[in-house]
Amino acid sequence: MFNSSRLSVAARYVGAFLLQFAHGGLVVAGLIVTVLIGFRVADHGWTGVNVPSLFGRAEASVPSVDQLTPGDLAETAQVAEAEEEASPEPESKPLPPKLSSDMVRVTRYLARRYHVSRAAVEPLVLAAKTAGESVDLDPLLIIAVVGVESGFNPFAESAFGAQGLMQVVPRYHKDKIDPQVGHHPLLDPAENIRVGAKVLKESISRNGSLVAGLQQYAGAATDPATAYASRVIAEKQRLHVAMKAGTKLASAN
């Protein structure tokens, strides 16, 4: 009986101690929350404060437009300007030159006649146009020479050493070759057409006529039949028909 009374007294003391400890813990926790909210209010004001976010249970609320202050707007503008300066828009690259509708028809004709890709022919037609303008020659004449000389094979080479699309002999025309192109400049399609157009222009000017100039270009100046010139001129006429009337009609001629 005596022992039971002592246990009862001890249990009451323990219960009272736990109750006071729990009450004190709640008070301390409340003080901590109050202090944290006070710091938050001091830093940001009441606008945008979300108390549950202090414990990681919610995100901070976003103020509405009518709650923004002039200072907020100025800060936002500064951030946007800094980001724009840090990430400038990429510079636009110049677009490659495009063929006219007439030259597109020529490209289609060449692709069909010589069994090559239009994607491969198009830059060659552009190169012929550029070279023709630089030396005052009809681009169709240059293209016709390319067709007769190499059949649009940029790596063609004759037993005599003539190279590339227009079959230029490098040892005779070193002065016309750009030394920056590389070790085999005449195998570069654009460079070959550029040099070949210059050689052709000189041949025509030196001999006084298109036919005589073409014959000399081919190394056949003494041919009385002028077979080479006839082939080139015939091909040029087909190109002209293709440019004006279309591929099918040119192929039929």
Residue 162 CB neighbours (<10 A): 20
Under DSSP, is residue 163 helix (H, G, I), strand (E, B) or coil? strand
Q: What is the pLDDT of residue 180?
A: 86
Token pair 């000399």 in the structure block, residue:
216
Q: Produce one character per residue of 16-53: b if its CB has 16 or more CB atoms within 10 Å, e if not.
A: eeeeeeeeeeeeeeeeeeeeeeeebeeeeeeeeeeeee
Does 91 score more than 80 pLDDT? no
Could you tell me if 178 and 170 are in contact, meaning their C-beta atoms sit under 8 angstroms apart?
Answer: no
Task: State the Cα–Cα distance between residues 245 and 253, nearest whole angstrom.
Answer: 12
Residue 154 pLDDT > 90, yes or no?
yes
Q: Is 189 exposed, middle or buried (0-12, 13-18, 19+ CB in 10 A)?
A: buried
Mean pLDDT of all residues in 80-108? 69
Q: How far apart are CA 75 and CA 204, in angstroms?
A: 72
Q: Residue 245's pLDDT band (boundaries 50, 70, 90)?
A: confident
Q: Are 194 and 139 in contact (CB under 8 A)?
A: no
**Per-residue DSSP letter, 173:** -
Domains of the chain: which residue ranges?
2-86, 101-252
What's the rounded Cα separation, in Å, for the pair 78 and 86? Answer: 12
Chain segment 105-143, per-residue pLDDT in tens: 999 999 999 999 999 999 999 999 999 999 999 999 999
More confident of the two residues 185 and 54: 185
pLDDT in tens, 43-84: 554 444 444 444 444 444 444 445 556 665 556 555 455 544
Options 3.30.1360.20, 3.30.930.10, 1.10.530.10, 3.30.430.20; which CATH number does 101-252 get?
1.10.530.10
- Predicted confidence band at 191 (pLDDT cuts at 50, 70, 90)? very high
Query: What is the rounded distance in angstroms from the CA atom of residue 234 to the CA atom of residue 15?
Result: 117
Measured distance CA(81)–CA(235) in Å, rounded? 61
Which pLDDT band, with edges at 50, 70 and 90, does 181 fall under? confident
Q: Is 253's pLDDT higher than 90?
A: no
**Whole-number Å distance between alpha carbons of 144 and 225:** 19
What per-residue confidence (pLDDT) applies to 48? 46
